[in-house]
Amino acid sequence: MRCFRGDVTEPASVEEAVQCAVGRLGRLDILLNNAGGSGNTDGPATTAALDEFWNKIRVDYFGTFLALRFAIPELVKSGGGSVINMVSMAGFGNLTGGRSAYASSKAAVMNLTRTTAHTFAKDRVRVNAVAPAAVGTDRVKKMLADRPEAMAALASQQFGLIEPDDIAYTAVFLASEESRMITGHTIPVDAGSFAD
């Protein structure tokens, strides 16, 4: 595995990361945008910290925007490829728990996914998003242990807490040729949240 340390909110850093990948691998076929997350100072629009709002816009939305800006030309040069944007069920607007900054940034990325898919379909670049509900990462498990009231938010997840591998499987599918006819969609991985 080869890693590059950078900052998704800095255009020069994102461009350098893309060029580093192309230089080492010879071409670019897949882009996975996975930077982001929700902070403790998020909340309803009336009380969420303004710094939290701007952080979500910078990291979640602008970071994705920059990656698309610099990676898509390389995907086009390769004859097409796949972009996977990580969003959240919160972006649909009904599972936010009052996290307005996070939810609105993810909704923006969902819209960016659709518009970019439409624009670059002619170049055989597929652009999709994955929208997880609550995933059993170490951070989420710690939050649930520290805040038992947060368990109520999991009640709609009929299959329980999602495993990180479940998200990875969906991303691998969208990166593969098996999904060659799918573009412009947000795929929920929600453990049955929307089945009601």
Catalytic residues: 102
Evaluate whether 116 touches 71 at the Cβ level (below 8 Å): no
Nearest of 135, 118, 100 to residue 185 by alpha carbon: 118
Strand order in the sheet with 81-86: 30-33, 81-86, 125-132, 186-189
State the helix-helix crossing angle for 63-77 and 11-25, rounded to 10 degrees.
30
